[in-house]
Structure 1
Amino acid sequence: MHTRIDCDVAIIGAGSAGLPAYREVIKAGLKPLLIESGPHGTMCARVGCMPSKLLIAAAEAAAAVRHAPDFGVQVPCQPQVDGVAVMDRVRRERDRFVSFVVDDVQAMPPEHRLDARVEFLRDGVLQSDQGHEIHASRIIIATGTQPVVPELYRPLGELVIVNDDVFDWQDLPRSVLLVGSGVIGVELGLALARLGVRVRVLNRSGSFAHLADPAVRQAAVDVLAPELNLVQDARVTTVRREGQQAWVGWTVGDGPETQESFDRVLLTAGRRPALAALHLERTSMPLDDRGMPEIDPATLQVRGQPVFLAGDVTGRHAIQHEASDDGRLAGRNAAAWPDVQAGARRAPLAIVFSNPQIMQVGGGFGAYDPASMRVGAVDWTRQGRSRVMLRNQGLLHVYMRQADQRFIGAEMIGPDAEHVAHLLAWALQMDMTVPQMLGMPFYHPTIQEGVRTALRDALKGAA
């Protein structure tokens, strides 16, 4: 016999989208039920944003020591990386970040929480693996994503891993093959290489870190490919296990096969919305051929249903602040249903924490009509402050709509890209023109002067 639970809004998933959704439902004075099937702490804190930055910080410390002689500062020997100590700090600090989230969840009223796996029985009714039948007039699905492990790599057993596994390592491996040169592949590949791990990155296309601007993408490849031992347009032809080694072979075009052995194969090439276990087919939700509900991106509502999707599960960019914004919007709309409203969106902003860093502001180069815009550039190899710091690598492109000189976006690899990205994202969100941006103060000598150079370049010859 099932124990019945009634609530106004059931929220499936207590991550970066589910928690803000819960708070919005509480604010509206309704009764929520926050359902989580796995460990609390959010993907960002547990296996994403924060632990990856801890690993990157260790790698940058090692790289700084190696870089010191370029300034005339001699060090007695090359840095000795203690993999056990590196991973111990990663896990300790990761657990600290996770504990803050767990404490917040545990402070919630017990009747607002359910730690269980659930699936749909029918519209508005969920069943848990602990014998609960949950009746909710509105439902928010914030279950995130799960990594894709192609059958090709199954013979490797535990030697094939996903990024979720990296941060529980007790020590650094000697060698890792990373499959995919997206954000995760670039960030973790560089970090491991700079910590002394032999790294190889394979990518099946010519893409790199989601950059759309061909010139900026090529600049990024030129700067970072040597450390990543990057192979683009690679077709994996051999996967086998010999003892504790994974052997992988690949070809490029009509070339011969290359084979190498690795301690681990880290798959970073894809994640999919975690929806299958919910059995959405038991409901009247409209589903596409992948089992994805049809949602209105402006309101996050499943068409015609009191159901909302929020966060990575929507299939949009897997970015923490966007997931949180989704959660707040879904929570407000679920509470107000059927009076749902479109939510205001922030300027698109994405950052890759490589070194040099990569960023994208706006819709990306491919979202604009080249005939209607002007591109302004700064070559960081020639920029003053960058040369002072010996960080003079990369390229910045800013995009200006020619008709009204409005700033519409940018892509970059180069020094302090995370700070440049925020500066430009704020300008984009405020709908500024390039002349207005050039009217703002630029201190000398700073990296931000490079932004001024690019903006001036965009205006050259403009009508």
Structure 2
Amino acid sequence: MNPIHIEVAIIGAGTAGMGAYRAARAKSNSVLLIEGGSYGTTCARVGCMPSKLLIAAAEAAHQARHAEPFGVQVQGVTVDGAMVMARVQRERDRFVGFVLETIDAIAPADRLTATVRFQDAHTLVTEDGQLIHAKRIVIATGSIPVLPPVLKGLSARLLTNENIFDLPTLPARLAVFGPGVVGMELAQAMSRLGVQVKVFGVGGGIAAIQDPAIRDYANKTFNGEFYLDASAQVKSVNETATGVTVNYQHRDGGWKTEAFDYVLAATGRAPDVAGLGLENTGLHLNERGVPLFDRTTLQCGNSTIFVAGDVSNDAPLLHEAADQGRIAGDNAGRYPDVQPGLRRVPLAVVFTDPQIASVGYNLKQLNAQFKDRFAVGLVSFEDQGRSRVMLRNHGLLKVYGEHGSGLFLGAEMFGPAAEHIAHLLAWAAQQRMTVSGMLDMPFYHPVIEEGLRTALRDLNHKLHIGPPVIERCMDCGPGA
């Protein structure tokens, strides 16, 4: 089998890998994209898009069931689980098809279907023994689900985001382990579609919320819809002929054994580096087996190896993977002229209802880097005008600013329209706007964003820049 000689090899054809390929190809005619698994990207196949399809169905059912307060009577709402899952799969396959079209457009000579491992820092070897000699290499192998020990004995009744969207219909009962982003999105969606759901977590975390007050508010709100114990005591999980049984300590203190159709493991993901042979590269690896790298250039040490996407475990989000792929591919293509790339202000959204969002510095980072030098502005959406009009008046928003400079530093939110408010705040943070400058921007009436203005006014006052917030201020409009 003839060896392959190439300038740039990219391992993994997901979002980061394809971004790296395009960027490297713009600098070099000698680029090889290698994929050992399924094409289609995590987002399209098993992540962002199928989950949002399930959430959209859940929102439709929830709104129909809760129309009465508006004076709208909706009788006999039923959910056809098979139809719900059929649409999820049909539209999911459509999104995957777009990705496959992109792959097919890549010249056959530039792509290889194979599983590879490092023989040394410049040589990859396939499972068939073919050698690939590459001057530069980009690692973009993504991530894989992690199972806690209590779930490792399960098989047929174990679900992860990798297979839950292939169910032929909705289950009747579902135990969700892990109240992180994936767990909370899918748990709430399933619950609103009529599935009896219980969510078990450890350590008290909920969807990566940092602020304790916001986390407590979210915990109370979610428990109004389904059982959530973010600090659960689970003794055992056993698979049966028809499902699983979970032995756990109920929040009321008593121990219970309860039957479920399936268990969804949403207990996190780990960099997919097993079997890559990174120990043969001479690179320094962290505790997760990932090479140490510069997050502005994605270069691993001073080597010719770069890392991009979820495998870096830096910010496992699609827009971050795309940015990392572009930076890594660009630098691999033009090496040794390695240049820092644009890393955008952190932005994360969780598509629960109410939504969860974070922008810029989080509370942990603020306490570490701006201790005693930042202030917090607050607004509750319970009495916010537009939110009450739509009966979406639940949630809190906290905004952070720096004493002295008045610079806007970040925000965390659990509330209505968080995905949209978070974008406004991310743009402001990336433009290094002051809180006063943000308040000079236009705010229409009546909109949910007026709640953001209230929080910013509160923050500006606490920064000793602006006046106190005026209750029921007339220029805000009623219920701002």
Tell me whether the two structures share a fold, i.e. TM-score over 0.5.
yes
User: What SS does structure 2 have at the residue aligned with 1:11?
Assistant: strand
Deviations along 1:370-416, whole A, 9 cap, x unmatched?
Answer: 52111111110010000011110001111111221111111111111
Residue type of the partner of 2:24?
V
CA–CA distance in structure 1, aligned partners of residues 154 and 25 of structure 2: 47
Counterpart of 2:145?
A: 147
Task: After TM superposition, give the deviation of residue 457 of structure 1 in Å.
Answer: 0.8
CA–CA distance in structure 2, aligned partners of residues 280 and 400 of structure 1: 42
Task: After TM superposition, give the deviation of residue 236 of structure 1 in Å.
Answer: 1.9
CA–CA distance in structure 1, aligned partners of residues 152 and 219 of structure 2: 30
**Matching of residue 58 in structure 1 with residue 61 in structure 2:** no
Residue type of the partner of 2:238?
R
CA–CA distance in structure 1, aligned partners of residues 432 and 442 of structure 2: 18
CA–CA distance in structure 2, aligned partners of residues 381 and 317 of structure 1: 32
Counterpart of 1:299?
A: 297
Counterpart of 1:431?
A: 432
CA contact (8 A) 2:119 2:125 kept: yes
How do residues 265-284 of structure 1 correspond to structure 2 at under 5 angstroms? 265-284=263-282
User: What SS does structure 1 have at the residue aligned with 2:319?
Assistant: helix
2:351 to 312, 334, 353: 353
CA–CA distance in structure 2, aligned partners of residues 122 and 371 of structure 1: 48
- In structure 1, stretches of 5+ residues that fail to align are none
User: What SS does structure 2 have at the residue aligned with 1:64?
Assistant: helix
Deviations along 1:208-233, whole A, 9 cap, x unmatched?
Answer: 11011111111211211232310121
CA contact (8 A) 1:30 1:335 kept: no
Counterpart of 1:44?
A: 43
2:283 to 270, 285, 288: 285
Task: After TM superposition, give the deviation of residue 166 of structure 1 in Å.
Answer: 0.9
CA contact (8 A) 1:211 1:364 kept: no
Residue type of the partner of 2:402?
R
CA contact (8 A) 1:178 1:267 kept: yes
CA–CA distance in structure 2, aligned partners of residues 254 and 301 of structure 1: 51
CA–CA distance in structure 2, aligned partners of residues 37 and 65 of structure 1: 44
Counterpart of 1:258?
A: 256
Counterpart of 1:174?
A: 172
CA–CA distance in structure 2, aligned partners of residues 415 and 17 of structure 1: 31
CA–CA distance in structure 2, aligned partners of residues 114 and 228 of structure 1: 46
CA–CA distance in structure 2, aligned partners of residues 430 and 160 of structure 1: 45
CA contact (8 A) 1:233 1:252 kept: no
CA contact (8 A) 1:288 1:294 kept: yes
How do residues 23-422 of structure 1 correspond to structure 2 at under 5 angstroms? 23-77=22-76, 79-251=77-249, 255-369=253-367, 371-422=372-423
Counterpart of 1:456?
A: 457
Deviations along 1:247-297, whole A, 9 cap, x unmatched?
Answer: 112237994433211111111112111011111122222223442212122
CA–CA distance in structure 2, aligned partners of residues 327 and 223 of structure 1: 38
CA–CA distance in structure 2, aligned partners of residues 372 and 285 of structure 1: 38
Task: After TM superposition, give the deviation of residue 151 of structure 1 in Å.
Answer: 3.7
User: What SS does structure 2 have at the residue aligned with 1:227?
Assistant: coil
Task: After TM superposition, give the deviation of residue 242 of structure 1 in Å.
Answer: 2.5
- In structure 2, stretches of 5+ residues that fail to align are 465-480
Residue type of the partner of 1:76?
Q
CA contact (8 A) 1:149 1:267 kept: yes
Task: After TM superposition, give the deviation of residue 58 of structure 1 in Å.
Answer: 0.3
Normalising by the residue count of structure 2, what TM-score does the alignment of the two structures yield? 0.93
User: What SS does structure 2 have at the residue aligned with 1:458?
Assistant: helix
CA–CA distance in structure 1, aligned partners of residues 212 and 287 of structure 2: 33
Deviations along 1:393-450, whole A, 9 cap, x unmatched?
Answer: 0011111112211111111111111000001111111100111111000000001111
Residue type of the partner of 2:163?
D
CA contact (8 A) 2:116 2:127 kept: yes
Task: After TM superposition, give the deviation of residue 460 of structure 1 in Å.
Answer: 1.9
Normalising by the residue count of structure 1, what TM-score does the alignment of the two structures yield? 0.97
CA–CA distance in structure 2, aligned partners of residues 316 and 276 of structure 1: 18
Identity value in percent: 49
CA–CA distance in structure 2, aligned partners of residues 267 and 317 of structure 1: 21
CA–CA distance in structure 1, aligned partners of residues 408 and 263 of structure 2: 42
Residue type of the partner of 1:414?
G
RMSD, aligned α-carbons: 1.5
User: What SS does structure 1 have at the residue aligned with 2:15?
Assistant: coil
User: What SS does structure 1 have at the residue aligned with 2:301?
Assistant: coil
Q: Which moved more, 1:286-295 or 1:203-212?
A: 286-295
Q: Which moved more, 1:376-385 or 1:361-370?
A: 361-370
CA contact (8 A) 1:3 1:131 kept: no
